[in-house]
Structure 1
Amino acid sequence: MSGFLKRLPMAAGVAMLFSVGATADPLPPDATYRPLPTLPFSTVKAADEAQKAQVLQRQQTLLTERYDTADHPIPNVMMSGGRKPVQAGVRVKLPAGVTWDSLAALSPDQIRERDLLPAGFMPLPHVKQPTGGQVFPNQQIEQMRTLESRNLQRFDVDFDLQDRFTPEFPPPIFLTTHPELGDVSRGQVLSIRNFYETMNGIITPVQMEGLRLLLTPFPQEEFNQTEDRKSAEPSMGVACLDCHANFHTNAAFHLTPDVRPQSARFRLDTTSLRGLFNQQIHGSKRSLRSVEDFTEFEQRTAYFNGDHVSATRKGVNLPDRPNQVAMMAQMQNIIDFPPAPKLDPMGRLDPSKATEQELAGERVFMGKGRCAECHTPQTAFMDNNMHDLKLERFYKIGKTVNDLVMLPDGPIKTFTLRGIKDSPPYLHDGRLMTLADTVEFFNLVLGVKLTQEEKDALVAYMLTL
């Protein structure tokens, strides 16, 4: 047994080794490199398909235990494209006999010893943790099948979250170079088949070439032409904007490429590319200092779970830094945030436009709530830093949930809050379904003890961003 497994309870190690079944050829629990396939593709595919219903049911059971997933939209509040309502209320379920106020009154040690941290505040496992890999929502799968005859459907897993907790699709596209145009997407999701007609006359030749590259499919771990893919037929691969749909996000997820072993790799929800021009750190766990660095890194290794060896075997794409990468960056750097008509140029609410509740929420944000310590209004509601919230203060390390070992999150990048209503689910792994969930999470983690009135005001304020 590896050194890592020796440091965990025996049950956790056993679960990681045997939860998927030998015929599915799961990754060894302590592997750094992804091993070559040892079984024929047809055997693995048949085993995966046989296990799929059980895998999905297990994940749905977990989600039902953690969250209230009913449809309760906020009245008259829509995402920026105007087609999808924003969900209301706290969806994370509390342990029996506990209220949010009584929980907030306890110390981290008390919560940990009594095992009272709500499960919905814990890391959210991948739908199939031992295998991992990119999983796309059905809307993206259907659009790419229709537009490009390209199949992003996996035969072993499906997307696990309900549509009401994902971003509007297709998301609108706003450009810093043409704010007067508003949404330039024409209500379409960009693809290699329609991008030129959609953007012709709006963007420059350099940006157009960058857009073409961002929409060109390249081999990826689960979508390629090798025998250990997870698509039924050999695949051309995945494009950057398959996940960052219309430069925003469609809630596609995978596992962080930056951590090993497999059981410790946490889920990563796709982040928005809006406002990338204002960011100096890229990647949830990485300190990549330019969009060029990030673009090149994604193409070289992240597409392959951070394994450059696997990338080489499956068809690595090595974009040319001075030309291709630079053009891709030029396109990404003109994507703007959605309009926020109640904010002034420095990111503060205009008192003549905001309600009393929104203004009260801004005061909480800047003061008692401690939000602005990281999400600074003058810098697009972020601070270009990474922070460790030390959530492990509240739970016992080492428990295994659906094959994910509950370990500390470590430092995570501060994400922008501009346009935040458009970006559910929240936190780096999508463990929080609503903005109200995020308020309860940080109220507990930061120990600020907000009243219910202050919590409601804070949500109202974030809806204006």
Structure 2
Amino acid sequence: MNRSLSCLALAAVAALAAAVQADPLPADMTYRPLPTQPFSDVKRMDEAAKPKVMQRQRALLESRYDLANKPVPGVMMSGGRRAVQGGVRVKLPAGMTWDKLAGMSPAEIREKNLLPEGFKPLPHAKQATGGQVFPQNQIDVIAQQEQRDLRRFDVDFDLPDHFTPEFPAPIFLTTHPELGDVSRGQALTIRNFYEMMNGIITPVQMEGLRLLLTPFPQEEFNQTEDRKVAHQSMGVACLDCHTNFHSNGAFHLTPDVRPQAARFRLDTTSLRGMFNQQIHGSKRSLRSVEDFTEFEQRTAYFNGDHVSATRKGPHLPDRTNQVAMMAQMQNIIDFPPAPKLDWRGRLNPEVATAQELAGEKVFFGKGQCSQCHVAQTSFLDNNMHDLKLERFYKVGQVSNDLVLLPDGPIKTFTLRGIKDSPPYLHDGRLLTLADTVEYFNLVLGLKLTAQEKEALNAYLLTL
């Protein structure tokens, strides 16, 4: 009996060990560890590893997507500086078609592993480390104007430029719609903001803008030895990511999830239309732009770790005298003009094309888009929704160190000016609007025809 019990105990231990080894989520800590090696050693190792890091990410992107530059003929973003990319870029499994895939059940797609890789969560270029990564155009303008370095020595931006928003983006103000774009074709920085905005905004808004352009310490950009820039850094500013209150495509990892392998990528969202939005952060459900602004400074800048923030020197903005002013500035940023829409957010049939009008019919009907993207409220519903994508893939797969877990509830993003805001979804996994149409057609089981998909895509370009 004792020998049998011993054998059973050994078998249980072996099974437990096997389960632990099979767990795709490696052991991790709630708090970020302090550095254990000299900065010079870490920098040297990171620089040596960087080519392989970027090569691996490039291979993943090329396996998932068609990365070629294929703009939609004659369609530009609102500032006229970048063409809108067209076509479905997500690659299908061999021998599969979109119609055939859409005819299969989620369970069948999951069991046969047929969900296109481009529909699965997109990993950070360096998932195990994470942190903010800026595109080259933002790095260049800040280096030139402020002599501040946003270039990391361990990782680079990973998507081709043509899949990112135009740079610099135009700026539209609710308080001065008659002025159109007030950016003068420049990126707002701490060096030029006063001259650009003097006489257009109020003293309170000007102070808010100054704070939004002032660099403060961030996890990877600061004075400490565990930074990821070559020299001690003053940090980053809010508008380093939200250039001209829009987005430059910079990405990060969500501060709200642990362990590290489960933290999902966050694509920088636009700040346009803050006045009509009551939910902020992809998953955080912060209910005012004031809450969002304060939270970002206190914890999100430091991967959600306020303990690390204390060591690096956080900016703890005063709710009344600073946060409120920052919010005042953010709340006057408008969407780009949409000349084919009326005050209700519906197409004017006198100027819209037949295909665009057909797409609007799909949007408000068979496509079910308007259930979440309500036209009268900037094409959003100020709610969070869980599409349960995990119905289509096996949870626990690992992709470049990201463990694919359920997305969970994600906020509804506005569709106003959507052609200006690639890539799409909260993590940027979809490169074009055509990709998003195919994604929702599959996930929601819409059974749209090819003609309906094309019409819906044409309609989205009018918003």
Q: Give the TM-score range, shorter chain.
A: over 0.9
Highest Rg: 1 or 2? 2
Counterpart in the other structure of 1:179: 177
Q: 1:148 aligns with which of 127, 142, 146?
A: 146
What displacement does 1:9 show? 6.2
Deviations 1:136-180 (A, max 9, x none): 000000000001000000000000000000000000000000000
- The ranges of structure 1 where at least 4 consecutive aligned residues each deviate by more than 3 angstroms after the TM superposition are 4-9
Counterpart in the other structure of 1:263: 261
What displacement does 1:10 show? 2.5
Read off the aligned partner of 1:357 and give its amino acid letter.
Q
1-structure distance, mates of 2:224, 2:319: 27
Deviations 1:389-447 (A, max 9, x none): 00000000001110000100000000000000000000000000000000000000000
1:12 paired with 2:24, answer yes
Q: 1:303 aligns with which of 289, 301, 304?
A: 301
Counterpart in the other structure of 1:25: none
SS of residue paired to 1:58:
helix
Deviations 1:250-283 (A, max 9, x none): 0000000000000000000000000000001011
1:315 paired with 2:288, answer no
Q: Say whether the 8 Å CA contact 1:155–1:230 is kept in structure 2.
A: yes
Counterpart in the other structure of 2:113: 115
Counterpart in the other structure of 2:376: 378
Read off the aligned partner of 1:110 and give its amino acid letter.
E
2-structure distance, mates of 1:58, 1:7: 28
In structure 2, relative to structure 1, the CA distance for the partners of 1:7 and 1:423 (3 Å cut) is farther
Q: Say whether the 8 Å CA contact 1:8–1:398 is kept in structure 2.
A: no
Counterpart in the other structure of 2:7: none
2-structure distance, mates of 1:191, 1:399: 42
Deviations 1:33-69 (A, max 9, x none): 0010011001111110010000000000000000001
Runs of at least 5 residues in structure 2 that lack an aligned partner in the other structure: 1-12
SS of residue paired to 1:12:
coil
1:64 paired with 2:76, answer no
1-structure distance, mates of 2:337, 2:77: 11
1:253 paired with 2:256, answer no
1-structure distance, mates of 2:451, 2:21: 43
SS of residue paired to 2:24:
helix
Counterpart in the other structure of 2:10: none
Deviations 1:356-381 (A, max 9, x none): 00000000000100100000001100
Deviations 1:61-82 (A, max 9, x none): 0000000011110000000001
2-structure distance, mates of 1:229, 1:422: 32
Counterpart in the other structure of 2:230: 232
2-structure distance, mates of 1:217, 1:185: 20
TM-score using structure 2 length: 0.96
1-structure distance, mates of 2:399, 2:164: 23
Q: 2:361 aligns with which of 353, 360, 363?
A: 363
Q: Say whether the 8 Å CA contact 1:9–1:398 is kept in structure 2.
A: no
1-structure distance, mates of 2:24, 2:391: 20
Counterpart in the other structure of 1:453: 451
Counterpart in the other structure of 2:410: 412
SS of residue paired to 2:153:
coil
SS of residue paired to 1:139:
helix
In structure 2, relative to structure 1, the CA distance for the partners of 1:455 and 1:6 (3 Å cut) is farther
What displacement does 1:306 show? 0.4
In structure 2, relative to structure 1, the CA distance for the partners of 1:131 and 1:6 (3 Å cut) is farther
2-structure distance, mates of 1:10, 1:223: 35
1:347-362 to structure 2, matched below 5 A, reads 347-362=345-360
What displacement does 1:83 show? 1.1
Identity of aligned residues (%): 77
Read off the aligned partner of 1:422 and give its amino acid letter.
D
1:198 paired with 2:196, answer yes
1:74-223 to structure 2, matched below 5 A, reads 74-223=72-221
1-structure distance, mates of 2:388, 2:170: 35
1-structure distance, mates of 2:19, 2:236: 37
1-structure distance, mates of 2:226, 2:408: 31
In structure 2, relative to structure 1, the CA distance for the partners of 1:7 and 1:77 (3 Å cut) is farther
Runs of at least 5 residues in structure 1 that lack an aligned partner in the other structure: 17-28
2-structure distance, mates of 1:377, 1:261: 38
Q: Say whether the 8 Å CA contact 1:140–1:250 is kept in structure 2.
A: yes
Q: Say whether the 8 Å CA contact 1:276–1:335 is kept in structure 2.
A: yes
Alignment RMSD (CA, Å): 1.3
Counterpart in the other structure of 1:50: 48
Deviations 1:125-145 (A, max 9, x none): 000000000000000000000
1:390 paired with 2:402, answer no
Read off the aligned partner of 1:12 and give its amino acid letter.
P
Counterpart in the other structure of 1:337: 335
Q: Say whether the 8 Å CA contact 1:282–1:288 is kept in structure 2.
A: yes
